[in-house]
């Protein structure tokens, strides 16, 4: 993981990009899925103990002292302490290298635990004295409760005086979420269809842009979308709200997907990131497949992009032929 930070930091330096390098991080690479499931089962119970507060976890992270949580057994407590130590080490190293961490969301049966760990990291690394946010959380618009959770988390960060970083995505685990809810006989946590997900994304986007316009550098947003309509909405509202192009809002797409959108945004002066998966082939391919499934418009965008590239190539060849004739 530290090697990934080094690779991210190794990009050509520019005064305009100081402190703007970002890297994605998956919590379950540093904390077991089993532990995250156990934590989630306790967090989601009514009257959860303050033992599992972000502040207490952040204190244990910072001090290195043994953390004892009564709802966990000895082995689980040891693993939680080791996981907190690993996460804190990565966050500290990333902060030292001026690299922000975009923490991935995963499945709903572990997301509450992931959000707790991210909140603990935020308490430690997103304070104004650190110049953050250095730790960003990911919000999946295809979940029914995302807008309310986003609003609640933003208010909590504001009350605590913490910078708030958000990566807004549609979501990549739709099929499995529906299968799990069917098997368990529980309510489907996802939006009923793609159109409802798009409406959810639009509402979350509107909320975040409003917060950015009011709180400035204390609130950062990545519009992580391959959907052209979402990008249009973001740029239109940024102009209406007076949010500067080089301010706290940026855009993100996968390398090789929607490059025509990325190029247009970059040429217009917006900050654009291209996500580059890093790892062995058998790990990266499933990730890319999930990203493609996340947004139906990706395939439509790919066909549109192919048409645009063909047209550009034809125009260049035609222009060259005319020059040769003259």
Q: With respect to residue 281, please indicate whether it lies within any of the assigned structural domains.
A: yes
| 276 within some domain | yes
d(CA 271, CA 266): 6
CATH number (domain holding residue 140)? 3.20.20.220
Can you tell me which residue has the tokens 């693993």? 79
CA 166 – CA 101 distance, rounded (Å):
11
Instruction: Tell me the whole-structure pTM to 2 decimals.
Output: 0.88
Q: List, in sequence order, every residue forming a beta bridge with 254; answer none if it has no partner.
A: 275
- Copy the structure tokens of residue 68: 């004892």
pLDDT score at 224: 96
Domain count, the chain: 1
Residue 105 in domain = no
Task: Provide CB contacts within 8 A for 198, sequence distance 6+.
Answer: 141, 170, 227, 229, 230
Helix (H, G, I), strand (E, B) or coil at 110: coil
Residue 96 lies in a domain: no
- Between CA 67 and CA 88 the distance in angstroms is 14
Cα maximum dimension of the chain:
84
Q: Extract the runs of DSSP E, i.e. beta strands, from 147-254.
A: 164-169, 219-224, 249-254
Residue 29 lies in a domain: no
Beta strand spans in the chain (E): 21-25, 99-103, 135-140, 164-169, 219-224, 249-254, 272-275
Is residue 256 a part of any domain in this protein? yes
Domain that includes residue 286, residue range: 126-325
Determine, yes or no, domain membership for 43: no
Q: What is the pLDDT of residue 297?
A: 47
Show pLDDT as tens, one digit a residue, over the chain (326 residues).
888 899 888 765 555 565 689 999 999 999 999 999 999 998 887 766 678 899 999 999 888 778 888 888 999 999 999 999 999 999 999 999 999 999 999 999 999 999 999 999 999 999 988 888 999 999 999 999 999 999 999 999 999 999 999 999 999 888 889 999 999 999 999 999 999 999 999 999 999 999 999 998 899 999 999 999 999 999 999 999 999 998 899 999 988 888 889 999 999 999 999 998 877 888 777 777 776 665 554 455 455 656 665 666 666 655 554 454 45
């Amino acid at each position: 993981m530290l090697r990934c930070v080094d690779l991210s930091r190794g990009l050509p330096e520019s005064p305009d990009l100081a402190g703007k390098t970002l890297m994605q991080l998956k919590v379950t690479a540093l904390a077991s899925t089993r532990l995250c499931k156990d934590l989630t089962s306790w967090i989601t119970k009514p009257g959860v103990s303050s033992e599992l507060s972000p502040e207490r976890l952040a204190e244990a992270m910072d001090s290195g002292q043994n953390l004892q949580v009564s709802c966990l057994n000895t082995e689980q407590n040891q693993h939680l302490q080791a996981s907190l130590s690993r996460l804190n080490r990565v966050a500290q190293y990333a902060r030292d290298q001026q690299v922000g961490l975009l923490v991935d969301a995963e499945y709903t049966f572990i997301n509450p635990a992931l959000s707790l760990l991210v909140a603990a990291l935020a308490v430690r690394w997103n304070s104004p004295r650190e110049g953050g946010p250095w730790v960003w959380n990911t919000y999946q618009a295809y979940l029914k409760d995302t807008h309310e959770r986003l609003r609640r988390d933003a208010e909590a960060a504001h009350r605590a005086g913490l910078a708030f970083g958000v990566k807004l995505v549609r979501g990549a685990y739709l099929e499995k979420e529906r299968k799990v809810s069917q098997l368990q006989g529980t309510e489907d946590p996802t939006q009923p269809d793609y159109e409802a997900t798009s409406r959810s994304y639009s509402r979350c986007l509107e909320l975040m842009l409003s917060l950015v316009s009011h709180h400035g550098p204390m609130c950062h947003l990545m519009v992580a979308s391959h959907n052209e309509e979402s990008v249009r909405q973001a740029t239109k509202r940024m102009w209406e709200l007076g949010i500067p192009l080089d301010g706290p809002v940026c855009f993100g797409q996968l390398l090789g997907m929607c490059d025509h959108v990325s190029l247009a945004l970059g040429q217009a002066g917006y900050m654009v990131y291209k996500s580059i998966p890093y790892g062995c082939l058998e790990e990266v391919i499933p990730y890319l497949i999930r990203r493609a499934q996340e947004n139906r418009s990706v395939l439509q965008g790919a066909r549109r992009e192919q048409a645009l590239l063909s047209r550009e190539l034809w125009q260049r060849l035609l222009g060259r032929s005319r020059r040769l004739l003259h």
